[in-house]
């Protein structure tokens, strides 16, 4: 091919995925001799197409570039340009075809290879993307976009280790790219290296402290950690993100979900309300708010929240069901039953609601009424062992113990945690005279009940001691967020409940320092020191 | 064995006559809302003191019991109220009277009561309950008082005074709750079962708090260790031996006992022990006959609720609720837990029928303590009374109405329809005025044949509720006295046999029991409603297995049956006020 140098500037076209690079393309003539004026005419059309594309007239641009390709069908620049235009027009298959032809026309050119890789990745066809992207990185080892795309393809195939390496290479080539930093951190997380992900995210917050995405990324990884030292910092990270982007309801919603994970229900509620104040709406948000209120035993407000969902979406069966549960907590069983009935009317296949209604009927001394609802569960889910259990209970109440036995056997076999089925089965067997088997089951049940009871008691013990621990954690969270007054309240409670916990006293000292209460800080610090000197209790 | 006559009763003309069938009427009156009227003129002015403090110690919320007993054997029921008072070394939130914490006696006097000195009964421990019985068979009723702290055994000297004979006790409970007497080995001496609630020492209670609200709260029982109950075997009424371990009832691990009853629940003629535990499942100790017991609460079906979960057992009563001559067991529980009604399916096997019979749902809203089965309206089947009240003084429903459930079985039987028991709540009336109720005990204090109620309320005045249900129905009150067996005849079963208008036999059965309710003691008389029947046949099975057929007996009497002698005295029923 006769080398013919044509300089074609390809403008960066803003949009998703890696940006096309401004650059110079050298190519020789193809295997066919082309008349010089055809070349110029085609080039001219390509330039016009580029201008049209820059003016967002992509249909016009396509027409122009297609005209040019009629003059020079194998022009790699034109084919590549067509690929980019088709991509912008949302025609991935056409884009792929164009890029592929460009690749064939000039196999050493990295741009169509990247284009192919990009489109295949966006379509989720990671395996198809791989060879092109590998070739691209070979041809352009200094091209961060190619490595980033390669990493995306590898990640899509679950090859987390190599994906991580590819993203790292991309970032090494473009260390100022925040997006690539996020990609690296995400790849490290996907590769089960949370510590590295957190470290990378921290680096991003140092490099781009004014960018919400860096703090957001850090927060996401911190909350994934099981280490107290990490997860107590998560809310503070999200608050930083919010500081840099205060108009984003999505950030408040994310913060709310983080508080939910941390068990700070009141904070969750507050964050949800901030999101609502910023315009976030939608039934999911009000459902979450209702849940948060109910967990704080603020039943009336929870009722209102679920009521809003119902008002906005009268067919929202889940809202009726949740409101019904709140009414149950308030001992208002009439209202509870009415709402569960509405939940069923709205969502006739809601098994939870159907079984709850069956329970209402059974509690009201109407086993036949209960059975009607159980039949409806079976109609939705023929093998539902929850329905087997309920029907088994109904049969026991009706004195039809023999019929209850196979139902309870199925329920007990299906879920080893469903020990109430085992209890009922054992009782039914005893009452039907199957004494040996009944006694054996009761003995097993006794053991499981004891294990469950021991676990519950231990949890309670840990809870009460652990409640000291929870107060301490909450104190640390508030400290990280710079909320000293709230931190003080929590840490005072923590030291009261765990007077031998030196760390709690040390944290308390820190809070007092932050509040300028130096004498109390000194006293708390002295206590912490003396406990440390005594060694572990 | 000496004979113990009640001098105010005359001899029955029907002694020795074989029982004959009698008519039972129809068109029984429905239970009216005004079934109970508070008798504020009777002279009972007891007010309980809990010594509630900022430290929120659990004993402060438990309340105390009330016992009916005839301590001076004048034939009239006296009242004994147990009081709490300030806990030792603890400053209460409210100033308490000097007498707070002293148990009080009110002597019955023809439907009225006089505050009686009853020297020796004013036990000043932090009182929980009282279990009265003639443990030494001398004809004078004695009292066992449970305390937070050491319990006390008070022996009746027969002269209006009581002597503290706690030295006879080999073991003293650390936190006694309910206690029950019973002759467990048939030697005619009453043995004693004492429930111990929790292993709880004021100086070392854990800190319990509400996480979200950040306030101190009362520790739940799950957070605390239980304490083993005690079983004391009587040595001829002169001493006791602790047989807790050898008997197989040592239960510290799971024992958080609040109520107990001693009665034959396996229908083998031997008295068993049923204990209601708080949050750990109830015990049914089946008597093997050799002073050893086999715990079968779980297997019996009367240990847990119908989902196999333990509940917060507070009070117990036992009685034939469905007319099959076999006992049902009732247990009152916490809020959002129904009152259990364990219906007997086979000897020693029970099924919780509380929802099926209509009691489950209405009792989910209330926190029940005292419990009693009694025929309020005299129509021959048993009603249920529950004494309710929350434990948290900052709860919206701290004061709660007590509940009365009417048994519709008699009406159903009369109309020929399904005779499965159905209980309907009876709304309103003095019983339903919201209180913080705890102990509940039944006796006919005005001798009109209608069982009345005494209720002890936590930090509130006690209530005396007179049964003012329609007096049209006929009644019979049976009092039994043992000679070859324990004098109180605890464990004697009385059966009535009558005919209804359709010539069907209508049978009723009742057993003299000790224990029952919550921290309290019913009078021990057996109250039977006869509807419109004016006579009934009677059979009695004594604790030692001796049987006697008596009757026919006229209705509207209090009758005294003595072992070996039959019907020895009667007294017509009538308002003695």
In the structure, what pLDDT confidence band is assigned to residue A262 with cuts at 50, 70 and 90?
Answer: confident
> For an interface test with A, which of B299, B304, B310, B358 has the most A Cβ atoms less than 10 Å from its Cβ?
B299
CB pairs under 8 A between A and B: 88
How far is C-alpha B515 from the chain's CA centre? 5
pLDDT at res. B92: 86
The span from the CA of A65 to the CA of A42, in Å, is 8
Question: Is the per-residue pLDDT at A7 higher than 50?
Answer: no
Structure tokens at A112: 């169509």
pLDDT at res. A457: 67
pLDDT at res. A196: 96
pLDDT at res. A465: 55
- Please indicate if any CB of chain A lies within 8 Å of the CB of B369: no
Cβ contact (<8 Å) for B360 and A365?
yes
Residues belonging to chain A with any Cβ–Cβ distance to chain B shorter than 8 Å: 265-266, 296-297, 331, 333, 362-365, 367, 393, 396-397, 419-420, 422-424, 426-427, 430-431, 438-439, 442, 445-446, 449, 453, 456-457, 460-461, 464, 467, 470, 489, 493, 496-497
pLDDT at res. B229: 96
Least confident of A55-59, A156-160, A278-282, B22-26: B22-26
Cβ contact (<8 Å) for B308 and A422?
yes
Distance from CA of A306 to the nearest CA of B (A): 22
Cβ contact (<8 Å) for A493 and B209?
yes
Alpha-carbon dihedral of residues B124, B129, B135, B137, nearest 10 degrees?
90
The span from the CA of A171 to the CA of A164, in Å, is 11
Widest pairwise Cα distance in chain B: 71
Q: Which of B7, B3, B11 is nearest to B559 (CA)?
A: B11
Structure tokens at B402: 């007590």
Cβ contact (<8 Å) for B207 and A464?
yes
ipTM of the complex: 0.77
Angle between helical axes of A110-122 and A92-105 (0-180°, round to 10): 160
- Please indicate if any CB of chain A lies within 8 Å of the CB of B392: no
pLDDT at res. A323: 96
Structure tokens at A136: 């691209």
pLDDT at res. A20: 42
Question: Which phi and psi (to 5°) does residue B114 adopt?
Answer: -115, 140
Q: How far apart are the first and last CA of chain B?
A: 35
Cβ contact (<8 Å) for B308 and A365?
no
> For an interface test with A, which of B338, B355, B394 has the most A Cβ atoms less than 10 Å from its Cβ?
B355
In the structure, what pLDDT confidence band is assigned to residue A13 with cuts at 50, 70 and 90?
Answer: very low
The span from the CA of B486 to the CA of B183, in Å, is 7
Question: ω before B552 within 30° of 0 (cis)?
Answer: yes
Looking at beta carbons, which residues of chain B come within 8 Å of A498?
Answer: none
Alpha-carbon dihedral of residues B509, B515, B517, B518, nearest 10 degrees?
-170
Q: Which of A467, A491, A469 is nearest to A478 (CA)?
A: A491
Distances (CA, A) of B527 to A209, A250, B476: 84, 71, 6
Please count the other Cβ atoms lying within 10 Å of the Cβ belonging to residue A378: 14
pLDDT at res. A21: 31
- Please indicate if any CB of chain A lies within 8 Å of the CB of B360: yes
Pair B481, B563: CB distance under 8 Å:
yes
Least confident of A503-512, B163-172, B443-452: B163-172
Pair B276, B260: CB distance under 8 Å:
yes
Please count the other Cβ atoms lying within 10 Å of the Cβ belonging to residue B237: 19
**CA A509, A511, A517, A518 torsion: positive or negative?**
positive
Cβ contact (<8 Å) for A423 and B212?
no
Question: Is the per-residue pLDDT at A496 higher than 50?
Answer: yes
Cβ contact (<8 Å) for B304 and A365?
no
Question: Is the per-residue pLDDT at A194 higher than 90?
Answer: yes
Task: Enumerate residues 6+ apart whose C-beta is below 8 A from A318.
Answer: A287, A343, A347, A350
Tens of pLDDT along B267-292? 999 999 999 999 999 999 999 999 99
Overall average pLDDT of the B394-412 stretch: 87
Structure tokens at B165: 């004979």
Structure tokens at B101: 């914490």
pLDDT at res. B576: 62
Over its C-alpha atoms, chain B yields an Rg (Å, rounded) of: 22
Least confident of A252-261, A329-338, A488-497, B412-421: B412-421
Is residue A170 within a helix (H) or strand (E), and if so which, with residue range? Answer: helix A160-173
Q: Which of B424, B417, B441 is nearest to B523 (CA)?
A: B441
DSSP A349: T
Distance from CA of A459 to the nearest CA of B (A): 10
Structure tokens at A285: 């948000």
How far is C-alpha A390 from the chain's CA centre? 35
Overall average pLDDT of the A164-176 stretch: 96
Instruction: Write down the pTM of the prediction.
Output: 0.75
Closest residue in chain A to residue B217, using alpha carbons only: A464
Question: Is the per-residue pLDDT at A499 higher than 60?
Answer: yes
- Measure CB to CB from residue A423 to each of B220, B308, B360 and give the nearest one: B308
Question: Is the per-residue pLDDT at B387 higher than 90?
Answer: yes
In the structure, what pLDDT confidence band is assigned to residue B29 with cuts at 50, 70 and 90?
Answer: very low
DSSP A259: H
Cβ contact (<8 Å) for B351 and A445?
no
Residue A387: HSE in the Cβ half-sphere, 13 Å Cα cutoff = 18
Cβ contact (<8 Å) for A464 and B309?
no
B280 three-class SS: coil
Pair B105, B123: CB distance under 8 Å:
no
Looking at beta carbons, which residues of chain B come within 8 Å of A333?
Answer: 361, 364
- Measure CB to CB from residue A427 to each of B301, B310, B422 and give the nearest one: B301
Looking at beta carbons, which residues of chain B come within 8 Å of A470?
Answer: 211
pLDDT at res. A459: 64
pLDDT at res. A30: 40
Alpha-carbon dihedral of residues B167, B169, B174, B177, nearest 10 degrees?
-120
Is residue B453 within a helix (H) or strand (E), and if so which, with residue range? Answer: strand B452-457
- Measure CB to CB from residue B298 to each of A420, A442, A470 and give the nearest one: A442
Alpha-carbon dihedral of residues B24, B25, B29, B34, nearest 10 degrees?
-40
Overall average pLDDT of the B105-134 stretch: 90
Q: Look-up: residue for tokens 């009225």? A: B112
Of chain B, the percentage scoring pLDDT greater than 70 comes to 91
Give the DSSP per-residue string, B419-448. Answer: -S--EEE---SGGGS-B-EEEEEEE-TTSS
Distance from CA of B105 to the nearest CA of A (A): 39
Question: Is the per-residue pLDDT at A495 higher than 70?
Answer: yes
Structure tokens at B528: 């039977």
């Amino acid at each position: 091919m006769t080398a013919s140098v044509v300089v074609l500037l390809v403008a960066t076209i803003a949009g998703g995925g890696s940006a096309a690079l401004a650059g110079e393309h050298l190519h020789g003539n193809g295997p066919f001799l082309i008349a010089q004026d055809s070349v110029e005419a085609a080039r001219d059309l390509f330039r016009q197409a580029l201008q049209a594309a820059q003016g967002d007239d992509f249909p016009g641009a396509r027409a122009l570039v297609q005209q040019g390709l009629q003059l020079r069908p194998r022009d790699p620049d034109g084919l590549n340009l067509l690929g980019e235009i088709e991509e912008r027009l949302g025609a991935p298959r056409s884009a792929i075809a164009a890029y592929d032809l460009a690749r064939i026309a000039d196999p050493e050119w990295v741009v169509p290879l990247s284009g192919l890789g990009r489109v295949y990745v966006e379509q989720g066809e990671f395996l198809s993307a791989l060879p092109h992207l590998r070739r691209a990185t070979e041809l352009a080892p200094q091209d961060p976009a190619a490595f980033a795309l390669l990493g995306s393809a590898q990640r899509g195939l679950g090859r987390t280790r190599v994906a991580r390496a590819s993203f790292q290479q991309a970032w090494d080539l473009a260390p100022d790219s925040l997006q690539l930093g996020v990609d690296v951190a995400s790849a490290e997380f996907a590769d089960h290296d949370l510590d590295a992900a957190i470290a990378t995210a921290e680096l991003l917050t140092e490099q781009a402290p004014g960018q919400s995405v860096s703090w957001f990324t850090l927060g996401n990884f911190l909350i994934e950690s099981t280490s107290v030292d990490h997860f107590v910092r998560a809310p503070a990270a999200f608050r930083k993100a919010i500081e840099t982007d205060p108009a984003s309801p999505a950030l408040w919603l994310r913060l709310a979900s983080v508080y939910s994970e941390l068990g700070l229900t009141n904070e969750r509620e507050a964050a949800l309300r901030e999101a609502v104040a910023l315009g976030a709406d939608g039934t999911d948000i009000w459902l979450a708010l209702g849940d948060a209120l109910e967990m704080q035993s603020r039943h009336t407000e929870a009722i209102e929240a679920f009521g809003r969902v119902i008002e906005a979406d009268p067919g929202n069966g889940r809202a009726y069901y949740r409101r019904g549960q709140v009414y149950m907590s308030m001992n208002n069983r009439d209202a509870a039953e009415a709402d569960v009935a509405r939940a069923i009317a709205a969502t006739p296949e809601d098994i939870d609601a159907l079984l709850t209604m069956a329970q209402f009927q059974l509690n009201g001394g109407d086993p036949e009424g209960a059975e009607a609802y159980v039949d409806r569960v079976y109609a939705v889910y023929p093998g539902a062992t929850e329905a087997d259990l309920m029907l088994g209970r109904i049969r026991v109440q009706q004195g039809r113990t023999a019929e209850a036995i196979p139902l309870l056997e199925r329920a007990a076999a299906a879920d080893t945690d469903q020990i109430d089925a085992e209890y009922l089965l054992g009782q039914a067997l005893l009452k039907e005279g199957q004494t040996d088997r009944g006694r054996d089951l009761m003995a097993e049940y006794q053991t499981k009940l004891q294990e469950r009871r021991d676990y519950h008691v231990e949890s309670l013990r840990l809870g009460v001691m652990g409640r000291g621990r929870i107060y301490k954690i909450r104190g640390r969270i508030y400290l990280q967020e710079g909320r000293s007054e709230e931190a003080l309240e929590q840490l005072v409670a923590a030291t009261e409940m765990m007077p031998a916990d030196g760390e709690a006293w040390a944290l308390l000292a820190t809070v007092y320092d932050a509040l300028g209460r130096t004498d109390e800080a000194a006293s708390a610090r002295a206590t912490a020191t003396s406990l440390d000197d005594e060694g572990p209790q | 064995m000496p004979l113990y006559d009640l001098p105010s009763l005359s001899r029955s003309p029907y002694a020795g006559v074989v029982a004959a069938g009698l008519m039972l009427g129809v068109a029984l009156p429905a239970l009216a809302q005004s079934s109970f009227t508070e008798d504020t003129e009777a002279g009972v002015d007891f007010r309980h003191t809990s010594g509630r403090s900022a430290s929120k110690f659990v004993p402060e919320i438990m309340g105390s019991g009330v016992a009916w007993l005839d301590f001076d054997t004048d034939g009239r029921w006296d009242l004994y109220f147990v009081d709490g008072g300030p806990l030792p070394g603890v400053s209460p939130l409210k100033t308490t009277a000097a007498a707070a914490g002293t148990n009080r006696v009110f002597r019955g006097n023809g439907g009225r009561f006089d505050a009686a000195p009853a020297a020796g009964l004013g036990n000043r421990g932090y009182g929980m309950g009282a279990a009265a019985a003639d443990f030494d068979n001398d004809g004078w009723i004695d009292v066992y008082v449970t305390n937070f702290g050491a319990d006390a055994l008070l022996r009746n000297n027969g002269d209006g005074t009581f002597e503290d004979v706690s030295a006879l006790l080999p073991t003293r409970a650390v936190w006694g709750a309910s206690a029950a007497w019973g002759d467990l080995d048939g030697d005619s001496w009453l043995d004693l079962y004492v429930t111990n609630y929790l292993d709880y020492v004021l100086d070392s209670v854990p800190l319990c708090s509400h996480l979200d609200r950040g306030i101190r709260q009362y520790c739940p029982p799950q957070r605390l260790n239980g304490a083993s109950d005690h079983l004391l075997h009587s040595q001829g009424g002169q001493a006791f031996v602790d047989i807790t371990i050898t008997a197989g009832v040592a239960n510290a691990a799971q024992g958080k006992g609040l109520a107990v009853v001693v009665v034959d629940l396996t229908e083998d003629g031997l008295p068993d022990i049923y204990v209601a535990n708080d949050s750990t499942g109830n015990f049914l100790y089946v008597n093997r006959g050799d002073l050893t017991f086999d715990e079968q609460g779980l297997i019996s079906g009367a240990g847990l609720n119908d989902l196999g979960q333990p509940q917060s057992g507070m009070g117990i009563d036992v009685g034939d609720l469905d007319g099959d001559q076999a006992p049902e067991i009732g247990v009152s529980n916490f809020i959002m837990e129904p009152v259990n009604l364990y219906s007997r399916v086979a000897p020693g096997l029970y099924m919780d029928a509380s929802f099926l019979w209509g009691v489950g749902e209405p009792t989910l809203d209330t926190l029940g303590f005292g419990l009693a089965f009694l025929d309020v309206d005299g129509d021959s089947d048993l009603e249920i009374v529950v004494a309710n009240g929350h434990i948290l003084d900052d709860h919206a429903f701290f004061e709660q109405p007590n509940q009365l459930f009417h048994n519709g079985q008699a009406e159903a039987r009369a109309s020929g329809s399904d005779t499965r028991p159905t209980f309907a709540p009876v709304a309103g009336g003095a019983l339903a005025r919201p209180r913080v109720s705890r102990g509940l005990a039944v006796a006919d204090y005005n001798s009109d044949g209608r069982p009345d109620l005494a209720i002890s309320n936590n930090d509130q005045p006690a209530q005396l509720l007179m049964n003012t249900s329609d007096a049209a129905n006929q009644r019979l009150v049976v009092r039994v006295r043992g000679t070859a067996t324990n004098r109180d005849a605890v464990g004697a079963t009385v059966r009535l046999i009558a005919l209804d208008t359709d010539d069907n036999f209508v049978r009723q059965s009742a057993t003299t029991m000790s224990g029952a309710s919550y921290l309290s003691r019913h009078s021990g008389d057996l109250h039977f409603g006869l509807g419109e029947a004016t006579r009934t046949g009677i059979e009695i099975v004594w604790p030692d297995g001796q049987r006697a057929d008596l009757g026919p007996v006229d209705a509207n009497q209090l009758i005294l049956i003595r072992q070996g002698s039959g019907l020895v005295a009667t007294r017509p029923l009538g308002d003695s006020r």
